[in-house]
Structure 1
Protein backbone atom coordinates (compact mmCIF):
# COMPACT_ATOMS: atom_id res chain seq x y z
CA UNK A 1 0.00 0.00 0.00
CA UNK A 2 1.24 3.47 -0.88
CA UNK A 3 0.00 6.72 0.64
CA UNK A 4 0.41 10.09 -1.09
CA UNK A 5 0.04 13.58 0.35
CA UNK A 6 -0.64 15.69 -2.75
CA UNK A 7 -2.17 14.91 -6.15
CA UNK A 8 -1.39 17.42 -8.89
CA UNK A 9 -2.96 17.76 -12.33
CA UNK A 10 -0.29 18.95 -14.77
CA UNK A 11 -0.78 20.25 -18.28
CA UNK A 12 1.98 19.00 -20.58
CA UNK A 13 2.29 20.22 -24.19
CA UNK A 14 2.16 17.41 -26.75
CA UNK A 15 4.18 18.94 -29.57
CA UNK A 16 3.76 15.92 -31.83
CA UNK A 17 -0.04 16.26 -31.80
CA UNK A 18 -0.06 20.03 -31.18
CA UNK A 19 -2.32 19.46 -28.19
CA UNK A 20 -2.07 19.64 -24.40
CA UNK A 21 -2.22 16.48 -22.29
CA UNK A 22 -3.29 16.36 -18.66
CA UNK A 23 -1.44 13.99 -16.33
CA UNK A 24 -2.00 13.35 -12.64
CA UNK A 25 1.04 12.94 -10.39
CA UNK A 26 0.84 12.13 -6.68
CA UNK A 27 3.66 12.97 -4.28
CA UNK A 28 4.75 11.42 -1.00
CA UNK A 29 5.98 14.34 1.10
CA UNK A 30 9.30 12.66 1.97
CA UNK A 31 9.99 11.97 -1.70
CA UNK A 32 10.05 8.18 -1.37
CA UNK A 33 7.66 7.45 -4.21
CA UNK A 34 5.48 8.99 -6.90
CA UNK A 35 2.27 7.87 -8.60
CA UNK A 36 0.95 8.72 -12.05
CA UNK A 37 -1.82 7.72 -14.45
CA UNK A 38 0.16 8.65 -17.56
CA UNK A 39 -1.55 7.46 -20.76
CA UNK A 40 1.79 7.71 -22.57
CA UNK A 41 3.45 5.22 -20.23
CA UNK A 42 0.40 2.95 -20.28
CA UNK A 43 0.32 2.80 -24.08
CA UNK A 44 4.10 2.43 -24.36
CA UNK A 45 4.13 -0.55 -22.00
CA UNK A 46 0.93 -1.99 -23.43
CA UNK A 47 2.37 -2.06 -26.95
CA UNK A 48 4.90 -4.66 -25.87
CA UNK A 49 2.11 -7.08 -24.97
CA UNK A 50 -0.81 -5.97 -27.13
CA UNK A 51 0.82 -4.85 -30.38
CA UNK A 52 -1.82 -6.59 -32.49
CA UNK A 53 -4.74 -4.94 -30.77
CA UNK A 54 -4.54 -1.12 -30.92
CA UNK A 55 -8.12 -0.77 -29.64
CA UNK A 56 -7.09 -2.42 -26.39
CA UNK A 57 -3.97 -0.25 -26.15
CA UNK A 58 -5.99 2.94 -26.54
CA UNK A 59 -8.53 1.93 -23.88
CA UNK A 60 -6.01 1.03 -21.17
CA UNK A 61 -5.98 2.95 -17.91
CA UNK A 62 -2.95 2.93 -15.67
CA UNK A 63 -1.70 3.16 -12.12
CA UNK A 64 2.06 3.61 -12.01
CA UNK A 65 4.07 3.86 -8.80
CA UNK A 66 7.73 4.90 -8.90
CA UNK A 67 9.54 3.52 -5.84
CA UNK A 68 12.33 6.07 -5.92
CA UNK A 69 14.38 4.51 -3.11
CA UNK A 70 14.69 1.18 -4.93
CA UNK A 71 14.29 2.26 -8.57
CA UNK A 72 11.30 -0.05 -9.01
CA UNK A 73 8.24 0.71 -11.13
CA UNK A 74 4.98 -0.93 -10.09
CA UNK A 75 2.68 -0.80 -13.11
CA UNK A 76 -0.99 -1.74 -13.34
CA UNK A 77 -2.78 -1.60 -16.71
CA UNK A 78 -6.42 -2.49 -17.25
CA UNK A 79 -9.62 -2.07 -19.21
CA UNK A 80 -12.89 -4.00 -19.24
CA UNK A 81 -11.30 -7.21 -20.56
CA UNK A 82 -7.60 -6.96 -19.73
CA UNK A 83 -5.60 -6.56 -16.54
CA UNK A 84 -1.81 -6.64 -16.21
CA UNK A 85 0.51 -6.05 -13.28
CA UNK A 86 4.27 -5.57 -13.66
CA UNK A 87 7.21 -4.80 -11.42
CA UNK A 88 10.27 -3.45 -13.25
CA UNK A 89 13.59 -2.12 -12.02
CA UNK A 90 14.32 1.02 -14.01
CA UNK A 91 18.07 0.75 -13.44
CA UNK A 92 18.19 -2.47 -15.46
CA UNK A 93 16.78 -0.71 -18.53
CA UNK A 94 18.87 2.48 -18.43
CA UNK A 95 22.32 2.91 -19.96
CA UNK A 96 24.90 3.59 -17.29
CA UNK A 97 28.09 3.67 -19.42
CA UNK A 98 28.75 7.39 -19.03
CA UNK A 99 27.79 7.78 -15.39
CA UNK A 100 31.05 6.78 -13.68
CA UNK A 101 31.71 10.38 -12.58
CA UNK A 102 28.19 10.99 -11.30
CA UNK A 103 29.58 11.59 -7.80
CA UNK A 104 31.35 14.70 -9.11
CA UNK A 105 28.12 16.27 -10.35
CA UNK A 106 26.11 18.68 -8.24
CA UNK A 107 22.76 20.28 -8.92
CA UNK A 108 23.06 24.06 -8.86
CA UNK A 109 20.01 25.97 -7.68
CA UNK A 110 19.77 29.76 -7.96
CA UNK A 111 16.86 31.95 -6.94
CA UNK A 112 16.04 34.24 -9.86
CA UNK A 113 14.26 36.76 -7.66
CA UNK A 114 11.32 36.53 -10.07
CA UNK A 115 7.88 34.97 -9.75
CA UNK A 116 5.36 33.16 -11.90
CA UNK A 117 1.59 33.33 -11.57
CA UNK A 118 0.24 29.79 -11.46
CA UNK A 119 -3.39 28.99 -10.63
CA UNK A 120 -3.94 32.64 -9.71
CA UNK A 121 -1.10 32.99 -7.17
CA UNK A 122 2.53 34.12 -7.32
CA UNK A 123 5.36 31.68 -6.64
CA UNK A 124 9.17 32.02 -6.75
CA UNK A 125 11.21 30.86 -9.75
CA UNK A 126 14.50 28.97 -9.41
CA UNK A 127 17.10 28.26 -12.09
CA UNK A 128 18.38 24.69 -11.84
CA UNK A 129 21.22 23.07 -13.79
CA UNK A 130 23.86 20.32 -13.41
CA UNK A 131 27.31 21.61 -12.50
CA UNK A 132 28.86 19.84 -15.50
CA UNK A 133 26.44 21.40 -18.00
CA UNK A 134 25.27 24.92 -17.08
CA UNK A 135 23.79 25.36 -20.55
CA UNK A 136 21.04 22.84 -19.85
CA UNK A 137 19.33 24.90 -17.18
CA UNK A 138 15.61 24.79 -16.40
CA UNK A 139 13.36 27.26 -14.63
CA UNK A 140 11.23 25.74 -11.90
CA UNK A 141 8.39 27.48 -10.13
CA UNK A 142 7.95 26.05 -6.64
CA UNK A 143 5.07 26.33 -4.19
CA UNK A 144 7.13 26.40 -0.99
CA UNK A 145 4.01 26.26 1.19
CA UNK A 146 3.71 22.54 0.38
CA UNK A 147 5.82 20.24 2.57
CA UNK A 148 7.49 18.07 -0.09
CA UNK A 149 11.13 17.01 -0.04
CA UNK A 150 11.97 17.82 -3.67
CA UNK A 151 15.69 17.38 -2.97
CA UNK A 152 15.11 13.72 -2.07
CA UNK A 153 13.09 13.21 -5.27
CA UNK A 154 15.93 14.54 -7.43
CA UNK A 155 18.49 12.52 -5.45
CA UNK A 156 16.57 9.26 -5.86
CA UNK A 157 15.98 9.83 -9.58
CA UNK A 158 19.67 10.49 -10.27
CA UNK A 159 20.68 7.46 -8.20
CA UNK A 160 18.15 5.35 -10.09
CA UNK A 161 19.63 6.47 -13.41
CA UNK A 162 23.19 6.02 -12.14
CA UNK A 163 22.45 2.61 -10.69
CA UNK A 164 24.22 3.45 -7.42
CA UNK A 165 24.02 5.58 -4.31
CA UNK A 166 25.83 8.91 -4.54
CA UNK A 167 28.58 9.70 -2.06
CA UNK A 168 27.18 13.15 -1.29
CA UNK A 169 23.91 15.08 -1.52
CA UNK A 170 23.06 16.21 -5.04
CA UNK A 171 22.12 19.66 -3.75
CA UNK A 172 21.40 21.45 -0.50
CA UNK A 173 19.91 24.55 -2.11
CA UNK A 174 16.57 23.32 -3.46
CA UNK A 175 13.81 24.52 -1.14
CA UNK A 176 11.12 22.19 0.12
CA UNK A 177 7.98 22.56 -1.91
CA UNK A 178 5.88 21.38 -4.81
CA UNK A 179 7.14 21.92 -8.35
CA UNK A 180 4.23 23.56 -10.16
CA UNK A 181 5.83 24.79 -13.38
CA UNK A 182 8.90 23.86 -15.44
CA UNK A 183 10.28 25.80 -18.40
CA UNK A 184 13.33 25.36 -20.60
CA UNK A 185 14.60 27.55 -23.43
CA UNK A 186 11.38 29.54 -23.38
CA UNK A 187 9.20 26.43 -23.69
CA UNK A 188 6.76 25.31 -21.02
CA UNK A 189 7.34 21.65 -20.13
CA UNK A 190 4.59 21.36 -17.54
CA UNK A 191 2.29 23.53 -15.46
CA UNK A 192 0.01 22.63 -12.56
CA UNK A 193 -3.68 23.39 -13.01
CA UNK A 194 -5.08 21.71 -9.88
CA UNK A 195 -3.74 20.53 -6.51
CA UNK A 196 -5.65 18.10 -4.29
CA UNK A 197 -4.37 17.85 -0.72
CA UNK A 198 -6.55 14.89 0.26
CA UNK A 199 -4.43 11.80 0.88
CA UNK A 200 -4.46 9.23 -1.91
CA UNK A 201 -3.91 5.52 -1.27
CA UNK A 202 -2.87 2.96 -3.88
CA UNK A 203 -3.13 -0.78 -3.17
CA UNK A 204 -1.50 -3.55 -5.16
CA UNK A 205 -0.99 -7.32 -5.10
CA UNK A 206 0.90 -8.77 -8.05
CA UNK A 207 1.73 -12.22 -6.65
CA UNK A 208 0.51 -15.31 -8.52
CA UNK A 209 1.68 -18.72 -7.41
CA UNK A 210 1.75 -21.21 -4.56
CA UNK A 211 2.65 -19.90 -1.14
CA UNK A 212 4.10 -22.31 1.40
Structure 2
Protein backbone atom coordinates (compact mmCIF):
# COMPACT_ATOMS: atom_id res chain seq x y z
CA UNK A 1 0.00 0.00 0.00
CA UNK A 2 1.44 3.34 -1.09
CA UNK A 3 -0.31 6.60 -0.19
CA UNK A 4 1.54 9.91 -0.55
CA UNK A 5 1.18 12.68 2.04
CA UNK A 6 -2.05 14.63 1.54
CA UNK A 7 -2.22 18.36 2.25
CA UNK A 8 -6.00 18.46 2.67
CA UNK A 9 -9.07 16.23 2.17
CA UNK A 10 -12.81 16.19 2.87
CA UNK A 11 -13.97 14.31 5.97
CA UNK A 12 -17.71 13.67 5.58
CA UNK A 13 -20.58 12.17 7.56
CA UNK A 14 -22.50 9.92 5.15
CA UNK A 15 -25.09 8.87 7.71
CA UNK A 16 -23.93 5.25 7.60
CA UNK A 17 -20.28 6.06 8.36
CA UNK A 18 -17.72 8.86 8.29
CA UNK A 19 -15.43 8.87 5.27
CA UNK A 20 -12.33 10.56 3.87
CA UNK A 21 -12.42 10.64 0.05
CA UNK A 22 -9.03 10.46 -1.67
CA UNK A 23 -7.84 10.25 -5.26
CA UNK A 24 -4.24 9.33 -4.51
CA UNK A 25 -2.82 6.04 -3.29
CA UNK A 26 -2.15 2.61 -4.74
CA UNK A 27 -2.37 -1.00 -3.64
CA UNK A 28 -0.28 -3.62 -5.42
CA UNK A 29 -1.42 -7.24 -5.13
CA UNK A 30 -0.71 -10.50 -6.99
CA UNK A 31 -3.97 -9.94 -8.91
CA UNK A 32 -3.30 -6.38 -10.00
CA UNK A 33 -2.95 -2.71 -9.16
CA UNK A 34 -5.71 -0.81 -7.38
CA UNK A 35 -6.34 2.92 -6.86
CA UNK A 36 -7.47 4.29 -3.49
CA UNK A 37 -10.96 5.82 -3.46
CA UNK A 38 -11.73 6.43 0.22
CA UNK A 39 -11.44 5.16 3.75
CA UNK A 40 -14.18 4.94 6.36
CA UNK A 41 -14.83 3.66 9.88
CA UNK A 42 -16.92 1.04 11.70
CA UNK A 43 -17.59 0.71 15.40
CA UNK A 44 -17.17 -1.85 16.78
CA UNK A 45 -14.83 -3.82 14.51
CA UNK A 46 -16.32 -5.93 11.75
CA UNK A 47 -13.60 -8.57 12.04
CA UNK A 48 -12.69 -10.68 15.03
CA UNK A 49 -9.08 -11.71 15.47
CA UNK A 50 -8.54 -14.75 17.68
CA UNK A 51 -12.14 -14.40 18.90
CA UNK A 52 -11.63 -10.78 19.94
CA UNK A 53 -13.68 -7.81 18.77
CA UNK A 54 -11.98 -4.41 18.71
CA UNK A 55 -13.65 -1.07 19.41
CA UNK A 56 -13.04 0.42 15.96
CA UNK A 57 -12.01 -0.59 12.45
CA UNK A 58 -11.00 1.43 9.38
CA UNK A 59 -11.41 0.24 5.77
CA UNK A 60 -9.34 1.59 2.88
CA UNK A 61 -11.29 0.93 -0.32
CA UNK A 62 -9.42 0.49 -3.64
CA UNK A 63 -10.61 -0.19 -7.21
CA UNK A 64 -8.81 -1.33 -10.34
CA UNK A 65 -9.56 -0.21 -13.93
CA UNK A 66 -11.91 -3.19 -14.38
CA UNK A 67 -13.98 -2.17 -11.35
CA UNK A 68 -12.70 -4.89 -9.06
CA UNK A 69 -12.52 -3.91 -5.39
CA UNK A 70 -9.89 -4.52 -2.72
CA UNK A 71 -10.14 -3.42 0.90
CA UNK A 72 -7.34 -3.04 3.45
CA UNK A 73 -8.54 -3.05 7.05
CA UNK A 74 -7.01 -2.14 10.39
CA UNK A 75 -8.49 -2.64 13.84
CA UNK A 76 -7.81 -0.28 16.75
CA UNK A 77 -6.93 -0.82 20.38
CA UNK A 78 -7.34 1.99 22.90
CA UNK A 79 -4.71 3.64 25.07
CA UNK A 80 -5.70 5.58 28.17
CA UNK A 81 -2.71 7.92 28.31
CA UNK A 82 -1.06 9.88 25.52
CA UNK A 83 -1.82 9.78 21.81
CA UNK A 84 -2.17 6.87 19.44
CA UNK A 85 -1.41 6.74 15.72
CA UNK A 86 -0.84 10.34 14.60
CA UNK A 87 -2.82 10.00 11.35
CA UNK A 88 -6.04 8.92 13.03
CA UNK A 89 -5.64 11.15 16.07
CA UNK A 90 -5.43 14.04 13.60
CA UNK A 91 -8.52 13.02 11.63
CA UNK A 92 -10.72 12.00 14.53
CA UNK A 93 -9.94 15.11 16.53
CA UNK A 94 -12.31 16.83 14.06
CA UNK A 95 -15.10 14.25 14.00
CA UNK A 96 -17.22 16.34 16.39
CA UNK A 97 -17.51 18.88 13.55
CA UNK A 98 -19.45 16.38 11.42
CA UNK A 99 -21.84 14.97 14.01
CA UNK A 100 -24.83 15.31 11.65
CA UNK A 101 -25.29 13.33 8.39
CA UNK A 102 -24.45 15.41 5.32
CA UNK A 103 -21.88 17.59 7.06
CA UNK A 104 -18.18 17.72 6.16
CA UNK A 105 -14.97 19.35 7.32
CA UNK A 106 -11.46 19.70 5.94
CA UNK A 107 -8.65 17.64 7.45
CA UNK A 108 -5.05 18.64 6.89
CA UNK A 109 -1.53 17.22 6.69
CA UNK A 110 -2.33 13.52 6.39
CA UNK A 111 0.72 11.26 6.43
CA UNK A 112 0.34 7.54 5.72
CA UNK A 113 3.95 6.34 5.91
CA UNK A 114 3.64 4.83 9.38
CA UNK A 115 0.41 3.04 8.43
CA UNK A 116 1.97 1.48 5.33
CA UNK A 117 4.93 0.38 7.44
CA UNK A 118 2.58 -1.20 9.97
CA UNK A 119 0.87 -3.18 7.19
CA UNK A 120 4.16 -4.38 5.74
CA UNK A 121 5.70 -5.39 9.06
CA UNK A 122 2.86 -7.58 10.37
CA UNK A 123 1.11 -10.72 9.08
CA UNK A 124 -1.94 -10.07 6.92
CA UNK A 125 -5.15 -12.08 6.79
CA UNK A 126 -6.44 -12.41 3.23
CA UNK A 127 -9.75 -13.72 1.91
CA UNK A 128 -12.37 -13.11 -0.77
CA UNK A 129 -15.64 -11.71 0.53
CA UNK A 130 -18.07 -8.85 0.03
CA UNK A 131 -18.37 -5.19 0.89
CA UNK A 132 -19.93 -4.71 4.32
CA UNK A 133 -22.11 -1.78 3.22
CA UNK A 134 -24.66 -1.55 0.37
CA UNK A 135 -24.48 -2.63 -2.40
CA UNK A 136 -22.51 -5.43 -0.62
CA UNK A 137 -20.52 -6.17 -3.78
CA UNK A 138 -19.07 -9.68 -3.82
CA UNK A 139 -15.64 -10.97 -4.92
CA UNK A 140 -13.87 -8.27 -2.91
CA UNK A 141 -10.23 -8.97 -2.04
CA UNK A 142 -9.81 -8.35 1.70
CA UNK A 143 -6.49 -7.70 3.44
CA UNK A 144 -6.66 -7.34 7.24
CA UNK A 145 -3.65 -6.43 9.38
CA UNK A 146 -3.23 -8.96 12.18
CA UNK A 147 -2.01 -6.32 14.64
CA UNK A 148 -4.07 -3.38 15.94
CA UNK A 149 -3.06 0.24 15.79
CA UNK A 150 -3.49 2.52 18.77
CA UNK A 151 -6.02 5.29 19.38
CA UNK A 152 -6.71 7.49 22.39
CA UNK A 153 -9.84 6.88 24.42
CA UNK A 154 -10.78 10.54 23.89
CA UNK A 155 -10.95 10.30 20.11
CA UNK A 156 -12.58 6.88 20.18
CA UNK A 157 -15.37 8.28 22.35
CA UNK A 158 -15.72 11.16 19.89
CA UNK A 159 -16.24 8.91 16.86
CA UNK A 160 -18.42 6.46 18.78
CA UNK A 161 -20.70 9.36 19.72
CA UNK A 162 -21.15 10.08 16.00
CA UNK A 163 -21.32 6.53 14.60
CA UNK A 164 -23.05 4.78 17.49
CA UNK A 165 -23.10 1.22 16.05
CA UNK A 166 -22.50 0.70 12.33
CA UNK A 167 -20.95 -2.75 11.99
CA UNK A 168 -22.29 -5.74 10.12
CA UNK A 169 -23.11 -8.86 12.09
CA UNK A 170 -20.33 -11.47 11.98
CA UNK A 171 -20.57 -13.47 8.76
CA UNK A 172 -19.62 -17.05 8.00
CA UNK A 173 -17.22 -18.29 5.36
CA UNK A 174 -18.77 -18.64 1.87
CA UNK A 175 -20.80 -21.83 1.53
CA UNK A 176 -21.37 -22.24 5.26
CA UNK A 177 -24.49 -21.43 7.28
CA UNK A 178 -25.88 -17.90 7.17
CA UNK A 179 -25.34 -16.67 10.73
CA UNK A 180 -28.23 -14.22 10.54
CA UNK A 181 -30.50 -17.15 9.68
CA UNK A 182 -29.03 -19.07 12.59
CA UNK A 183 -29.76 -16.21 14.99
CA UNK A 184 -33.29 -15.78 13.60
CA UNK A 185 -33.99 -19.50 13.99
CA UNK A 186 -33.41 -19.14 17.73
CA UNK A 187 -36.34 -16.71 17.83
CA UNK A 188 -38.53 -18.42 15.21
CA UNK A 189 -37.57 -22.11 14.89
CA UNK A 190 -37.53 -23.53 11.37
CA UNK A 191 -38.03 -27.11 10.30
CA UNK A 192 -34.48 -27.91 9.19
CA UNK A 193 -31.40 -27.92 11.38
CA UNK A 194 -28.79 -25.22 10.83
CA UNK A 195 -25.34 -25.70 12.29
CA UNK A 196 -23.45 -22.41 12.70
CA UNK A 197 -19.69 -22.22 12.19
CA UNK A 198 -18.27 -18.89 13.31
CA UNK A 199 -15.94 -17.18 10.84
CA UNK A 200 -13.08 -15.34 12.43
CA UNK A 201 -9.44 -14.62 11.78
CA UNK A 202 -6.83 -16.74 13.51
After TM superposition, the score normalised by the length of structure 1 is 0.29
* TM-score of the two chains, using structure 2 as the length reference: 0.30
Bigger Rg, which one: 1
More strand by share: 1
